[in-house]
Amino acid sequence: MEFSELIRTGQAQAELLRGPEMPPLRGTLCVTGHHLLLSPGPQATPDLWLLLLRSVDSIEKRVAGDAGTITLRCKDLRVLQLDIEGVEATLDIARSIEALSSLESVITSFPFFYRPKGLRLGEAWHFHPPERYYKRIARETWSSPLPVPQTRAWRLSEANEDFSLCPSYPRAVIVPRAVDDDALARSARFRQGGRFPVLSYYHAPRGTVLLRSSQPLTGRQKLRCAEDEELLRAVLAEARPGARGFIVDTRSAQAAKQARMTGGGTEAKAAYPGWKRLHRPLERGRPLQESFVRLMEACGDPEQSMDRWLSRLDGCRWLSHVKEALSTACLAAQGMEWEGACILVHGAEGTDSTLLVTSLAQLILDPLSRTMAGFQELIEREWIQHEAPIFLLFLDCVWQLGRQFPLSLEFGEGMLLALFDHSYASPFGTFLCNSEKERCLCEVRTRTHSLWSGLNQPKEQRKLRNPLYVPNPLAIWPSVEPQSLRLWQGLFLRWTHPPEPSEVAWEKVWQIATDQKTEGSQPTDSASEPQP
Amino acid sequence: MEHIRTTKVEQVKLLDRFSTSNKSLTGTLYLTATHLLFIDSHQKETWILHHHIALVEKLALTTSGCQCIRSDPVIQCKNFRTVHFIVPRERDCHDIYNSLLQLSKQAKYEDLYAFSYNPKQNDSERLRGWQLVALAEEYKRMGVPNSNWQLSDANRDYKICETYPRELYVPRIASKPIIVGSSKFRSKGRFPVLSYYHQNKEAAICRCSQPLSGFSARCLEDEHLLQAISKANPANRYMYVMDTRPRHRMQSWWATQKDIGRIIVRISSKIWNDEKIRESDGKKRLNAMANRAAGKGYENEDNYSNIRFQFVGIENIHVMRSSLQKLLEVNGTKGLSVSDFYSGLENAGWLRHIKAVMDAAIFLAKAIMVENASVLVHCSDGWDRTSQVCSLGSLLLDPYYRTIRGFMVLIEKDWISFGHKYSERCGHLDGDPKEVSPVFTQFLECVWHLTEQFPQGFEFNEAFLLQIHEHIHSCQFGNFIGNCQKEREELKLKEKTYSLWPFLLDDQEKYFNPLYSSTSQKLAALEPNTVSFNFKFWRNMYHQFDGTLHPRQSVFNIIMNMNEQNKQLQKDVKDLESQIKQHKNKQTDGVLTKELLNSVRPESPALKTSLCLKEQTLLPVNDALRTIEGSNPADNRYSEYADEFSKAEPAVVSSEYGVARMTC
């Protein structure tokens, strides 16, 4: 397919309105295969303005007289207005943007064409495979102060080599050593989408584990699966004799029960001795999307009164979702850290709120996941869907952690914003496709650049890192009281509310902090810089 | 002391108001003449000044099914600390409750802590402390007296106005009869005087109280004085009169005015209660003036042709008091949902009021910066809302007031000297509860919002504001005792008590903002943005003592420490270098120099401090619990299921985890 077929008009004269604080930009508007650009012409500054077409969420066009206006709503929450000369040109450009921004095909997307200077293809893709995490667990179990049976409890299984067990799992997964690949295959058949229980995080200090899966397919007949039961039994047996387990179900008890009508369900108590079910309903999908939309509407109106703003902030319920997500993650983490229990998290598909809980619990407990490299690895390991409000909810929760523990995260707000932006539209391949299987089919790893290789370039660091970071070996237990949670202004008000004059201040923080690191007694041990 | 029946009770439990695990500390409670002291089993001390106690309540306890009212005191403090003690013996409990009830309410000034507080300074030190902030110098700094403004001796003996200071600045062309005439026309004699003079713009902020009712429709002297203020500004022909009271209270009245062709009507006192009458009469005057200004009035429009009237809606002290009350009810709720919190915040209206004060100050600052116009500010009596608006306006205009010293001067000038009734508003003595109102707290909160919006604009940090707030209620220092200067002189505060400011200055490194940029031209006059998004709940004020509600750490303090450490290390390097030089001069043996370096380094005092600095990153609030990151899940309310964990295996869970502490 040729992009040129979709481009009706390549060029037009236009003016871009950039919000209240910035002057409008005038120039020649061009539509290319992946971008919209506005070149102000030779007389002006090299102020070329560029927008990746993939980030256009919706487009509105209006014509009056011999000119037109296009309003673009972008996935990074920006709203842009372009005034274009000529009715025909306006309509053509609008149609071209519509066609190009809604292209479904992955392999025609920009990451497959993006070849920046200084980066090599294939770089950084090998940083975060499950094998690497397994090595860490092996290391930790060997050096563990806990009794011996633990040490060889887990193995790396390649049962999913050809994605036949589960298309959304990677080729290799970490499972109890006592369970063989055939049993895994049976367990996979008993779980929705084949997502059988696998290890998500090994909590070395207590020798407990965090597992995740999808719901069991018990259905109306209350089916059981011996291999699935054996798998969970093995988890407890290998953790510690007499260990307990908790299944954190991210649906309400009623919703879980109802799921049986459509073939899903929950683990029956009698079938899984030692495991206890807890229900922590978390919103996802549509309600979460609506909450997000309503929050954005509220954030788009700088004129509203204080009362209206507070009532809309309350009404959209976004911060309630933040609170629920964080407290569920804390519950899981608490179970591992204080109760010495194993935790299995799942909802229905086990691909959204499940991941939210497992990844946040790791940030709370695991100091390594709070480093730059560890956080990248966590996202690679845990997250499948990036382009959804659930991933944004995750980033928001991480931001809250960072605000409550300003020293403990190696990355700063800039990193979270970058992840948000790249998750919707990116020149890098990391967030393409929705599963490992698709990524393999599209050869994403060999034909596009990894986001991490882009972000880990030295020039990006000042923007992404937290200058105040000091490694903190402890668990960080956030406060989930509403007084402690705050709206993430840096994201939600990024485009509507002119930035507070804090950039200079931030630069000063950097100065003071870097001064200290070069002059201070010990440079912090940086386990974060991945060595290629 | 006669109120204290029990001085020491053992085995007392201190409950954490937000902990779900009913976590408590056991320790000993002491009652002294000035403080309540609790020492827990870890020897951590909690001091509560009796003056800080706003309310002592008995709590209804439910024990094993039966409900009984015990006198276990729940103490609410004016600095927003809430403590709940459980005393084992009902008798002790009762004694302590009654003692606290007595001790927290003082009948006369002489019983306040400041009169017994002795920081071991001699008389001359104390006097120097009081002279630290001298308002005469401040007026000189502003550039008065000058060709347009002069010091008036009219109030030298508090004859014209009891609640004003002795020294007042007025336009040079305003004669004494004019001043006296105007003061008779204004409530409590508070005639228009200078509050701030903007040297570059030659414009002034003036303040007064509302015009009085009951007089004939006009007062020539008052008109004259306003004219004089206007003329004292050569840069602009018109001036603003800002009424800081909300317009809606007057709306119906205004409506009738329009209907009948803007003619003043008498309103029957049967319809209006007393307070409203006063207000409406004041408004009547203003409306009359406004009518003249608009050329539609009935007389003498030339006199007022250069005055523009502006209303900004700040509510009165009673509305503010109940708003804060509502706010505290909401945020004191245990296990609050996000939704309850925000709807509570909305219903309390507190942030709306903060925004109103800020908007008024911005209007004032803009009138001077953009239009070069002088502004006369008033409310009813001119000591609450007027103080808020004048002081915030000056703070926006003049970077000096954003320094540690300048902020002290600002409070002395616009609040203390012009008669903000601290003792009544803070309830220092057992008096009329209707006079208590958080007007000054609102001012501090506005300043806090500004520090959030301009992280580089202020020399001081949040801790400084919190410390000042602590002391307006503590009565430990003389500054905030009494309601006006005259009263303070009668109390002989300068002889009998100490000034707070030198003590704050001694500790000033705790209050520095490490990001402060004193030279930035951009920050000369602040132009804050008051979109609703910018107003946030001030956690560190209202939950200062609730350690389980994060964030507990101030990023500024961390940066501050880094900064200090950098400076110390630089100094250290210099010291070492000079030592090396000295030794090199003495002996040229290079090996020895090397040895010297090795031996000096580990003993360097700077390095020692740098190693334990992490321990010191405490917020400088005396006894607030601040630990390095790391926290305790038992502190936080994650879910009701946390209990289920323990139900399943009760032996595993211990009630005390202790607070995690990072060692360096």
The model's pLDDT over B85-104, given as tens digits with 9 standing for 90+, comes to: 888 888 888 888 888 888 88
Q: Which residues in A lie closer than 8 A to residue B349 (C-beta atoms)?
A: 307
Contact A331 B343 (CB under 8 A): no
Is the Cβ pair A339, B542 closer than 8 Å? no
Q: What is the pLDDT of residue A254?
A: 92
**B contacts of A476 (beta carbons < 8 Å):** 629-631
pLDDT at A272: 92
Q: B631 at the A interface (CB within 8 A)?
A: yes
What integer pLDDT is reported at residue B236 of this predicted model? Answer: 87
* Helix, strand, coil % over all residues of chain B, rounded to 5: 45, 15, 40
CA distances for B110 relative to B53, B117, B429, angstroms: 18, 12, 10
Q: Tell me: pLDDT of B245 over 80.
A: yes
Give the model confidence (pLDDT) of A101-159 as tens digits: 777 777 778 888 888 877 777 776 666 677 888 888 888 776 665 555 555 788 889 89
For residue A86, what are its two tokens? 């000529």
Interface-testing mutation among B20, B329, B346, B353, with chain A (most A C-beta atoms within 10 A): B346
DSSP code at position A106: S
Rounded to the nearest 5 percent, the helix, strand and coil shares of chain A are 40, 15, 40
Backbone angles phi, psi at A29, to 5 degrees: -95, 130
| Closest Cα in chain A, distance from residue B39 (Å) | 26
pLDDT digits (tens, 9 = 90+) for A307-327: 999 999 999 999 999 999 999
Chain A residues touching residue B342 (CB < 8 angstroms)? 310-311, 313-314, 319, 482
On the question of pLDDT at B654 being above 70, the answer is no
- Cis peptide bond N-terminal to B502, omega within 30: no
| Helices and strands in chain A, H and E counts | 18, 14
A463 exposure class (CB count in 10 Å sphere: 0-12, 13-18, 19+): middle
Cα-based torsion angle of the residue sequence A258, A259, A264, A270 in order, rounded to the nearest 10 degrees: -40
Question: In chain A, which residues have their Cβ closer than 8 Å to the Cβ of B632?
Answer: 477
Q: How do residues A437-481 score in pLDDT, each as one tens digit?
A: 888 888 888 888 888 888 888 888 888 998 888 888 888 999 898
Q: How far out from the chain centre does Cα B379 lie? A: 19
Place of tokens 């993430």: A488
> Which chain B residues have a beta carbon less than 8 Å from that of A498?
529
Mean pLDDT throughout A336-345? Answer: 92
d(CA B190, CA B183): 6
Residue B323 near residue B349, CB atoms below 8 Å: yes
Closest-CA residue to B36 (of B11, B6, B2): B6
Tokens linked to B229: 């203020």
Residue A303: list chain B partners with CB under 8 A. Answer: 531
For residue B658, what are its two tokens? 């202790």
pLDDT the model gives residue A490: 87
Which of residues 206 through 245 in chain B touch A, CB cutoff 8 A?
Answer: none
Most confident of A91-95, B370-374, B517-521: B370-374
Output the 3-class SS for A137-184. HHHHHHCCCCCHHHHHCEEEECCCCCCCCCCCCCCCEEEECCCCHHHH
Distance from B634 to chain A by nearest Cα, in Å? 9
Give the Cα separation of A513 and A410 in Å (integer): 13
User: Mean pLDDT over all residues of chain B?
Assistant: 78
Q: Is the pLDDT of residue B601 over 60?
A: no
Q: Which of B531, B551, B638 sits opposite A330 (nearest CB)?
A: B638
Asked if B183 and B266 count as a contact pair (C-beta separation under 8 A), the reply is no
User: Above 70 in pLDDT, residue B461?
Assistant: yes
A376, A435, A410, A374: which is closest to A125 by C-alpha?
A: A376
Tokens of B479: 């500054």
Q: Which of A363, A364, A400, A401 is nearest to A379 (CA)?
A: A363
Give residue B37's pLDDT band: very low, low, confident or very high (50, 70, 90).
very high
- Close Cβ partners of A3 (under 8 Å, ≥ 6 residues apart): A32, A33, A34, A100, A108
* B520, B629, B639: residue with CB nearest A280: B639
Which pLDDT score is estimated for B325? 94
Which residue, B203, B190, B255, is CA-closest to B387?
Answer: B190
Asked whether residue B192 carries a pLDDT value surpassing 60, the answer given is: yes
A319: nearest CA in chain B? B338
Contact present, B165 and B199 (Cβ < 8 Å):
no
Higher pLDDT, B113 or A76: B113
Q: Nearest CB to A335: which of B549, B569, B645?
A: B645
Phi and psi for B539 in degrees, rounded to 5? -55, -45
User: Is residue A302 a contact partner of residue A273, using CB atoms and an 8 Å limit?
Assistant: no
A527 falls in which pLDDT band (50, 70, 90)?
A: very low
Contact A306 B355 (CB under 8 A): yes
Nearest CA in chain B to A338: B653
Q: Which of B479, B474, B539, B431 is nearest to B78 (CA)?
A: B474
Q: What is the SS3 assignment for A214?
A: coil
| Range from A451-460, B13-22, B224-233 carrying the lowest mean pLDDT | B13-22
Give the pLDDT score at A351: 87
Could you read off the pLDDT of A230-258 as tens digits, one per residue? 999 999 988 888 889 999 999 999 999 99
Residue A385 to residue A391: CA distance in whole angstroms? 7
Given a contact cutoff of 8 angstroms between Cβ atoms, the answer to whether A248 and A328 are in contact is yes
In this predicted structure, the answer to whether residue B655 has a pLDDT above a threshold of 50 is no
Q: Best-predicted range by mean pLDDT among A15-19, A21-25, A204-208, B467-471?
A: B467-471
What is the structure's pLDDT at B639? 55
Residue A115 confidence (pLDDT): 81
Q: Which contacts of B323-330 are long-range, i.e. CB under 8 A and separated by 24 or more positions?
A: B323/B348, B323/B349, B323/B350, B323/B353, B324/B348, B324/B350, B324/B438, B324/B441, B326/B350, B327/B542, B328/B76, B328/B80, B328/B542
Closest CA to B447 of B461, B433, B437: B461
Per-residue pLDDT, A410:
93
User: Sorting pLDDT into bands at 50, 70 and 90, what band is A365?
Assistant: very high
Please state, in angstroms and rounded to a whole number, the distance separating the CA atoms of residues A498 and A493. Answer: 8
What is residue B260's predicted lDDT score, i.e. its pLDDT?
29
Residues in chain B closer than 8 A to A400 (CB atoms): none
Does residue B379 have an active-site annotation?
yes
Residue B69 phi/psi, 5° resolution? -90, 115
**CA distance linking residue A88 with residue A93, whole number of Å:** 8
Amino acid at B377: V
Nearest-angstrom CA–CA distance, A228 and A225? 5
Separation CA A455–CA A207 (nearest Å): 33
Per residue in B475-531, pLDDT tens? 999 999 999 999 999 999 999 999 999 999 999 988 999 889 888 777 789 999 999
Query: Is the pLDDT reported for residue B438 higher than 90?
Result: yes
| pLDDT at site A190 | 94
- Contact: B532, A299; criterion CB under 8 Å: no
Q: Which position among B161, B206, B219, B379 bears the catalytic label? A: B379
Are B514 and B436 spatial neighbours (Cβ–Cβ below 8 Å)? no
ipTM over 0.90: no
Tell me the range of A213-217, A524-528, B549-553, B565-569 where mean pLDDT is highest.
A213-217
Mean confidence (pLDDT) of chain A: 84
Mean pLDDT computed over B616-633: 38
Residue B529 to residue A515, Cβ atoms within 8 A: no
- The answer to whether B518 contacts chain A (CB < 8 Å) is no
Supply the DSSP symbol for B553: S
Question: E strand or H helix at A211, and its extent?
Answer: strand A208-212
Output the pLDDT for position B170.
96
**A532 has a pLDDT exceeding 60:** no
Residue A522 has pLDDT above 70, yes or no: no
Cβ distance of B532 and A305 shorter than 8 Å:
yes
What are the two backbone dihedrals, phi and then psi, of residue A355, each rounded to the nearest 5 degrees? -70, -35
At B358 the pLDDT is: 96
By Cβ distance, the residue of B338, B542, B551 closest to A323 is: B338
Positive or negative CA dihedral for A72, A75, A76, A77? positive
Confidence (pLDDT) at B262 = 31
Q: Which of B355, B550, B558 lies nearest to residue A484, judging by beta carbons?
A: B550
Cβ-Cβ contacts under 8 Å, B629 against chain A: 405-408, 472, 474, 476
Q: Lowest mean pLDDT of A409-418, B14-23, B139-148, B455-464, name the range.
A: B14-23
The token pair at B160 is: 């014209």
Q: Is the peptide bond before B551 cis (omega within 30 degrees of 0)?
A: yes
- Residue B110 sits at the chain A interface (C-beta within 8 Å): no
> Does residue A409 contact residue A401 with C-beta atoms inside 8 Å?
yes
Nearest to B155 by CA among B170, B141, B169, B165: B165
Residue B641 near chain A (CB below 8 Å): yes
CB contact B451 to A (< 8 Å): no
pLDDT tens digits, A198-227: 999 999 888 899 999 999 999 998 899 999
- Kindly state the DSSP code that residue B517 receives in the 8-state scheme: -
Q: How far is CA B460 from CA A403, B210, B248, B479, in A?
A: 21, 35, 37, 20
Determine the pLDDT at residue B633.
57
Q: What are phi and psi of A59, to 5 degrees?
A: -135, 135
**Chain B residues 317-356 with CB within 8 Å of chain A:** 331, 336-343, 345-346, 349, 351-352, 355
pTM for the whole thing? Answer: 0.85
Range with the poorest average pLDDT among A12-16, A77-81, B161-165, B176-180:
A12-16
Does pLDDT of B602 surpass 60?
no
Residues B600-621, mean pLDDT to the nearest whole number: 33
Give the whole-angstrom CA distance, residue A202 versus residue A209: 5
Q: What is the pLDDT of residue A290?
A: 93
- Give CA–CA dist B582/B584, Å, rounded: 5
Coil, strand or helix at A273: coil
Q: Looking at B118-127, B364-373, B609-618, which range is the least confident one?
A: B609-618
Among A40-54, A364-378, B251-265, B522-536, the range scoring the smallest mean pLDDT is B251-265
Q: What is the pLDDT of residue A138?
A: 80
pLDDT in tens, B292-327: 333 322 223 345 567 888 888 899 999 999 999 999
Cα–Cα distance, A238 to A152 (Å, whole number): 9
Full DSSP string of A113-126: T---TT--TTTTTT
Question: What is the distance between the alpha carbons of residues B183 and B191, in angstroms, rounded to a whole number?
Answer: 5
Rounded CA gap, B106 and B116, in Å? 14
Token pair recorded at residue B90: 């009902």
Among candidates A330, A337, A403 on the partner chain, residue whose Cβ is nearest the Cβ of B551: A403
pLDDT surpassing 60 at residue A48 = yes
| Highest mean pLDDT pick, A364-378, A444-458, B556-570 | A364-378
Q: CA-to-CA distance for A257 and A247, rounded, in angstroms?
A: 15
Distance, in Å, from the CA atom of A358 to the CA atom of A213, rounded to the nearest integer, reads 11
Q: Where does the pLDDT of residue B545 fall: very low under 50, low under 70, confident under 90, or very high at 90 and above?
A: confident
